[in-house]
Amino acid sequence: MSGALTSSLEVVVQPRFASANSAPRPRARENSSSVIRVRNFAKSYAGHPAVKDISLEIRRGEIYGLIGPDGAGKSSLMKAIAGVLTYDAGDVEVFGRRIDSERAAEQIKGRLGLMPQGLGQNLYGDLSVEENIDFFARVRLVSATELAERKQRLLTMTRLDEFRSRPMKQLSGGMKQKLGLVCTLIHEPELIILDEPTTGVDPVSRRDFWAILTSLLHERGITALISTAYMDEATRFQRLSVMFEGRALAEGEPEAIVQLVPGTMVALQSERQSAALARLKQSFPQVDAYGAWIKVFVETPDAAGARGEIEKALAGIPSRDWQTSEPELEDVFIALLRKKEAAASSKDQPIPTPSGTTGAVVEPSLPKPARGESVAIEAKGLVRVFGEFRAVDDVSFRVPPGEIFGLLGANGAGKTTVIKMLTGILPPTGGEGRVAGADMRSAGQAIKERIGYMSQAFSLYLDLTVRENIRLYAGIYGLNRQESTERLAWVLGMAGLVGHEKELAGSLPMGLRQRLALGCALVHRPSILFLDEPTSGVDPVGRRQFWEILFRLSREDGVAILVTTHYMGEAEHCDHLALMFAGRVVADASPAAMKAEVEAEAGHLFELMTDQPARALDCLAKNGFAQGALFGKRIHLLCKHPEQDRERIQQLLSDAGVALTAFTARPLSMEDVFVYRVTSLETKERGEAAGGPP
């Protein structure tokens, strides 16, 4: 059986393999508080283990998360629970029934909803929003009366009501995911299984999706099993399993998992950033550069003690602007990998310097910018129109040599179109652009020779080997035999691919494939690098290794880097950011400056803890605190007047019968900035469209 999904879940489930001496386990009772029980689950494909000895239990009404990178085994486990994939060993029980045959799968099919991975993968592109919903309702035997009531309620909640007649294929990524959720919920299942529903979706759509989902689950008492590759979504779950390479690294409540590796995150700045990084890496295994900042994970819970350890390691290298905070789940994830020696398969080789060595830099690997050259990339009033649609509208920005420049925006904001114009792939409707001193309108080939471009799909030939891909790109860029041989050795060292030369690109883990794509983009020694969502689907270890390479390319070789990303944590790596909305640049500053602007305008971020978080959020929203967002058991809220707001919030919640147990200040993240800016603009546009005040 292929394991492929169908929207109606009408598939044949073959009996699982079982050892000859395995004894049948007792069936769980139907009134059990557990909806899902998995014991010692294992699944292999062509002899390659995908999931190894996973056990978990999900309680009724719980939002349970499977969190981990691509290839962790999340999808295989979820499909087996849904009854659409066979498995090799262990037991899977859903609603008290062992899912080990076609008959067992049929018995639970009507009680669950399944949303597969991928934007709109369970939908039909040529059908409208309403036609998709009606189709799923008919498949699920929903009566006309029930359909009318449920459809109106779900369309209103997801704000898709005004798009009823729009074909699914014309929706944005976030709208497709909301429609997929509506179709999954239209028959009001007791259990929903959502496979990476927010991957590839911008931060505003992600937060909107979670708000809708949490409200529906709370209102209807539905149990949910949800997977994600975003570590920052861990706080959305009541409990979760952290998965890597088919195994569970940890299981439990998010707060408990973070405590598995007690420590302190220390951030600092130094005028001698490269020297400080090199010195700290001699003493601490988790050290990263984030723009002008250096962040270090110190396995000392005491903040003062952690700072003391770092000061001792720096040994005279000047530093400033010290900050300490609790570690996030991603920091703990990497620490767990390191402690369990599970990160070896992701690291493969030590991350080398840009010269291709693992030791000191012997000479620059890429050309330094020309003396006096102050701008590597410049956009002046760029415009691109498709028919009547203005995809890019008067976009201007500048990127100097050696800067990492982040281009942020929601799905459809125009980021990729800007990159395609600057790289000569797409002609502009209006405006000017210069890249590496060449006019993008008239110097297409000259631009191509001076830049490296890495698209969202990595632009690799998956049926060629690592060596063949590198040599192919060397030939495309006109390198001779000797240059190709030299650059082949450099790419293999830079990307940690030594020993993988003869492997097919399609067989590589996502992190190695990503670094191979970067190496191919750099094979001709460009001075400018364009990266369009280069880390989508890559695990945290691979992402951090990738950004370390980018940091060295920018700082040591003066390469100008323009990058787009939906991981707002990665925006912190950038020296400068431009935020796009509806084809326009609406904010242009450093990450720190953007945060300061939002704090001055909207207030500081606070985290609230209550005994009834969903009820508390609803109460706050009805009383003027519309910017609140639920993160598991916590509420995040922007407060312009903290003391007065705290007293008012406490009184509002008390009147509603909700106890406020904590009100704590938190640092503003780039996701908070992004969501605030974009939602404010959306609200303003809706007000203008309605002819009233924004």
Instruction: Give the bridge partners for 681, in sequence order.
Output: none
In the chain, % of residues over pLDDT 90: 49
- Inter-axis angle of helices 129-139 and 173-185, to 10 degrees? 30
Distance in angstroms (rounded) separating the CA atoms of residues 112 and 131: 21
Give the C-alpha distances (Å, rounded to integers) separating 409 from 119, 201, 506, 587, 679. Answer: 18, 11, 30, 10, 12
Given 326, 345, 365, the domain boundary residue is 326
Residue 363: the pLDDT is 33
- pLDDT tens-place string over residues 271-323: 999 899 999 999 999 999 888 889 999 999 999 999 999 999 998 899 999 99
Mark whether 682 and 583 lie in a shared domain.
Answer: no
Does a structural domain hold residue 64?
Answer: no
Mark whether 531 and 659 lie in a shared domain.
Answer: no
Residue 690: the pLDDT is 63
| pLDDT surpasses 90 at 506 | no
Q: Three-state DSSP class for 522?
A: helix
634-639 and 629-631: which strand pairing?
Answer: antiparallel
Confidence of residue 18 (pLDDT cuts 50, 70, 90): very low
Mark whether 573 and 599 lie in a shared domain.
Answer: no
CATH no. for residue 604? Answer: 3.30.70
Does a structural domain hold residue 544?
Answer: yes
Say if residues 358 and 496 touch (Cβ distance below 8 Å). no
Mean pLDDT estimate for the chain: 84
Distance in angstroms (rounded) separating the CA atoms of residues 547 and 542: 9
| pLDDT surpasses 70 at 6 | no
Q: Phi first, then psi: what are they for 649, rounded to 5°?
A: -60, -45
Strand-by-strand arrangement of the 293-298 sheet: 287-290, 293-298, 264-269, 320-325
- Inter-axis angle of helices 329-339 and 540-557, to 10 degrees? 100
| pLDDT surpasses 70 at 371 | no
Does a structural domain hold residue 362?
Answer: no
Q: What is the gyration radius of the CA atoms in the chain, in angstroms?
A: 26
Mark whether 498 and 645 lie in a shared domain.
Answer: no
Closest CA to 467 of 431, 439, 503, 442: 503
Residue 21: the pLDDT is 36
Question: Can you read off the two tokens belonging to residue 159?
Answer: 């704000």
Q: Three-state DSSP class for 166?
A: coil
Q: Where are the beta strands (DSSP E) in 461-537?
A: 528-532
Range with lowest mean pLDDT among 320-324, 354-358, 405-409, 471-475: 354-358
| DSSP 8-class letter at 162 | G
pLDDT (mean) for 361-368: 37
Confidence of residue 566 (pLDDT cuts 50, 70, 90): confident
Mark whether 424 and 563 lie in a shared domain.
Answer: yes
Q: Three-state DSSP class for 351?
A: coil
Mark whether 558 and 597 lie in a shared domain.
Answer: no
Q: Three-state DSSP class for 69?
A: coil
Q: Three-state DSSP class for 385?
A: strand
Cα dihedral: 215, 219, 224, 229 (round 10): 0
pLDDT (mean) for 592-605: 93
Mark whether 385 and 487 lie in a shared domain.
Answer: yes
Given 309, 326, 343, the domain boundary residue is 326
pLDDT (mean) for 235-240: 90
Confidence of residue 359 (pLDDT cuts 50, 70, 90): very low
Helix (H) or strand (E) holding 256: helix 254-258
Q: Per-residue DSSP letters for 262-330?
A: --EEEEEE-TTHHHHHHHHHTT-S-EEEETTEEEEEES-S-HHHHHHHHHHHHTT---EEEEEEPPPHH
Q: Three-state DSSP class for 488?
A: helix
CATH no. for residue 381? Answer: 3.40.50.300
pLDDT (mean) for 24-35: 58
Within 129-224, residue ranges assigned H as helices are 129-139, 144-158, 173-185, 203-220
Helix (H) or strand (E) holding 55: strand 48-59
| pLDDT surpasses 80 at 210 | yes
Domains of the chain: total: 3
Q: Phi first, then psi: what are they for 59, rounded to 5°?
A: -85, 160
Percentages (nearest 5) of helix, strand, coil residues in the chain: 35, 25, 35
Distance in angstroms (rounded) separating the CA atoms of residues 164 and 131: 8
Question: Can you read off the two tokens belonging to residue 506?
Answer: 């399609």
Mark whether 283 and 390 lie in a shared domain.
Answer: no
Selected residue with higher pLDDT from 333 and 5: 333
Does a structural domain hold residue 4?
Answer: no
Say if residues 580 and 593 touch (Cβ distance below 8 Å). no
| pLDDT surpasses 80 at 433 | yes
Distance in angstroms (rounded) separating the CA atoms of residues 602 and 600: 6
Residue 303, domain extent: 262-326
Residue 131: the pLDDT is 96
- pLDDT tens-place string over residues 631-686: 877 889 999 899 999 999 999 999 999 999 999 998 888 989 998 998 888 888 77
Distance in angstroms (rounded) separating the CA atoms of residues 64 and 263: 26
Q: Three-state DSSP class for 167?
A: strand
Confidence of residue 158 (pLDDT cuts 50, 70, 90): confident
Confidence of residue 373 (pLDDT cuts 50, 70, 90): low
Instruction: Give the bridge partners for 92, in sequence order.
Output: 38
Confidence of residue 236 (pLDDT cuts 50, 70, 90): confident
Given 588, 611, 643, the domain boundary residue is 588
Say if residues 249 and 242 touch (Cβ distance below 8 Å). yes
Say if residues 362 and 354 touch (Cβ distance below 8 Å). no
Mark whether 382 and 482 lie in a shared domain.
Answer: yes
pLDDT (mean) for 478-504: 91
Residue 613: the pLDDT is 86
Confidence of residue 68 (pLDDT cuts 50, 70, 90): confident
Distance in angstroms (rounded) separating the CA atoms of residues 414 and 493: 35
Within 353-465, residue ranges assigned H as helices are 415-422, 444-450
Distance in angstroms (rounded) separating the CA atoms of residues 470 and 476: 10
Q: Which amino acid is at 513?
A: R
Say if residues 314 and 248 touch (Cβ distance below 8 Å). no
Mark whether 502 and 632 lie in a shared domain.
Answer: no
Query: If you search the block for the tokens 């990729």, which residue do you land on?
Result: 416
Dihedral of alpha carbons 120, 125, 129, 135, sign: negative
Mark whether 535 and 400 lie in a shared domain.
Answer: yes
Instruction: Give the bridge partners for 606, in sequence order.
Output: 637, 665
Residue 257: the pLDDT is 92
- pLDDT tens-place string over residues 523-554: 998 999 999 888 776 777 778 888 888 898 99
Distance in angstroms (rounded) separating the CA atoms of residues 377 and 508: 33
Does a structural domain hold residue 204?
Answer: no
Selected residue with higher pLDDT from 214 and 361: 214
Query: If you search the block for the tokens 């609406």, which residue do you land on?
Result: 586
Closest CA to 73 of 258, 249, 223, 253: 249
Q: Phi first, then psi: what are they for 692, rounded to 5°?
A: -115, -170
| pLDDT surpasses 60 at 694 | no
Whole-structure pTM value: 0.79
Does a structural domain hold residue 188?
Answer: no
Distance in angstroms (rounded) separating the CA atoms of residues 407 and 414: 10
Query: If you search the block for the tokens 């066979």, which residue do you land on?
Result: 86
Range with lowest mean pLDDT among 213-222, 367-376, 386-395, 462-471: 367-376
Does a structural domain hold residue 657?
Answer: yes
Residue 200: the pLDDT is 74
Residue 340: the pLDDT is 73
Residue 512: the pLDDT is 82
Range with lowest mean pLDDT among 114-118, 341-345, 656-660: 341-345
Selected residue with higher pLDDT from 440 and 581: 581
Mark whether 511 and 393 lie in a shared domain.
Answer: yes
- pLDDT tens-place string over residues 119-129: 777 899 999 99
Does a structural domain hold residue 142?
Answer: no
